[in-house]
Amino acid sequence: MGKNYHIIEKGLNGRITNVEYSGLSRRSGTSYILPYLYFYSPLDLVILNIGINDIKVIFDRSMIEISEMMAEIIDLARSTS
């Protein structure tokens, strides 16, 4: 990418799209994406790697539900540009 790029990594183990784990706080992607985006703006590129934890049995979510929540997170990210 060259010298003129700065990568900001904000990964968190156990992060999911829009629900919280019982007993683990601050894992909902929809709760945290806007503060990060506004804090670091302007951004040229946002890469999301979220959704795999959503398929865990404890959440009982369908692929359609997960993809709808991913779309919501993408919309949130686009709203900050």
- In one-letter notation, the amino acid at residue 64 is I
37-68 pLDDT, tens digit each: 999 998 888 998 877 889 999 889 999 999 99
Take residue 72 and report the two structure tokens written for it: 């919501």
pTM for the model stands at: 0.80
* 3 state DSSP class of 24: strand
Q: Is the pLDDT of residue 2 over 80?
A: no
- What domains sit in the chain, N to C, each tagged with a CATH number? 1-81 (3.40.50.1110)
- What's the distance, Cα to Cα, between the start and end of the chain in Å? 21
pLDDT in tens, 15-42: 888 888 777 788 888 888 899 999 999 8
- How many CB atoms sit inside 10 A of residue 37's CB? 19
Phi (first) and psi of residue 77, to 5 degrees: -65, -40
